[in-house]
Amino acid sequence: MGDGMARWFRSALGTGLAVLIAAGGMGCGGRKSALLLERQARGPIEEEGAVAHQLAWVLDPPTQTKTQDDIEIIVQHAAPAYLFRLFNNKQLFGSYAGLNPYFPEQLVFYIKLANHSGKVLRMDPTQFLLLDDRGNQYQSLSTDYNNALAESKAPVGTLTRGVLDDAHPGYFGVGVPVGKIIGKPQQRYALLQMATFQGGRVYDGVTYDGLIAFWSPHQEARRVKLVLSGFKTDLNANDIPQRSYDVIFEFAVRH
């Protein structure tokens, strides 16, 4: 490579890296994802300042089982110690193991569902709710939400998954694979994708499990309800459910 070409390469690469770093740095003091601009609880606005705090939650009973229409559902409070053990399991997560992808300001549940109904069950965990005895309602937090939250907390220079995924030869005019040079910080996203309780169909005979997270409820809450809402069954020939129901789990709370 001649001196002129080398200087151009370094200049172009430096420009590309600068743009990438600036894009990643937006998470710290820059623009936030629209997902993060909504209120953290649907309830009295004066309660908002007391939700999403770092608290050591103890739920009683920590594990509950309910059966409805031959569908068995187990719900367990996934405390920090549980999450630490789970996400350090290299047999499960391989090279991605070692990071708890959830945040201390969140309350996480493990859900296990076994369908013995002889029917197809359809569900949407984005509709699951957490209620506290202060009059607040919390929506479940999606993988994309937690990923956006992680990016907003990242220090300047941390690159977003979207920028990295788009990086390719010719990106920003740089004739090298920029994404490969910098690396892809996908550990959190990968763990969330693998561990989150996802929506869709669960066929007869299938046992399925995963995690679901909410913002930590009001710090003075003493009871919470986990509402697994919108379980749909009896799908007709047009795939329209003829029946829908909720399954509710109640917990006493202490810190």
Give pLDDT tens digits for 9-50. 344 444 444 433 344 444 444 556 666 667 778 888 888 888
Mean pLDDT, the chain, rounded, equals 80
Give the residue-averaged pLDDT of 159-182: 42
Domains, the chain, in order of start with CATH, read 1-31+143-183 (no CATH), 42-142+196-255 (2.60.40)
CB burial of residue 78 (10 Å; 0-12, 13-18, 19+): buried
The per-residue pLDDT for 34 is 66
Residue with tokens 């309350």: 107
Least confident of 101-115, 158-172, 216-230: 158-172
Higher local confidence (pLDDT), 172 or 185: 185
Residue 87 tokens read as 């996400």
Least confident of 122-126, 150-154, 251-255: 150-154
Residue type (1 letter), 64 = Q
Give the residue-averaged pLDDT of 116-122: 94
Q: How far apart are the first and last CA of the chain?
A: 64
Whether the per-residue pLDDT at 200 is higher than 60: the answer is: yes
Calculate the alpha carbon distances from 223 to 27, 84, 162, 249 in Å: 34, 25, 39, 11
Whether the per-residue pLDDT at 193 is higher than 80: the answer is: yes
Measured distance CA(139)–CA(167) in Å, rounded: 33
Residue with tokens 């991605």: 96
pTM, two decimals, is 0.76
Higher local confidence (pLDDT), 26 or 91: 91
Give the residue-averaged pLDDT of 82-110: 95
Higher local confidence (pLDDT), 201 or 184: 201
The per-residue pLDDT for 76 is 98
List of residues 6+ apart from 141 with CB closer than 8 A: 106, 213, 214, 215
* CB 54 within 8 Å of CB 217: no
Calculate the alpha carbon distances from 36 to 6, 32, 41, 153, 187 in Å: 43, 7, 12, 11, 21
The per-residue pLDDT for 155 is 65
The per-residue pLDDT for 100 is 94
Give the residue-averaged pLDDT of 155-172: 45
Residue 86 tokens read as 């789970």
- Kind and range of the H or E run holding 134: none
* CB 253 within 8 Å of CB 58: yes
Among residues of the chain, what percentage have pLDDT more than 70? 73
Residue type (1 letter), 94 = G
The per-residue pLDDT for 148 is 83
Give the residue-averaged pLDDT of 149-165: 59
- Residue 153 pLDDT grade (very low, low, confident, very high; cuts 50, 70, 90): confident
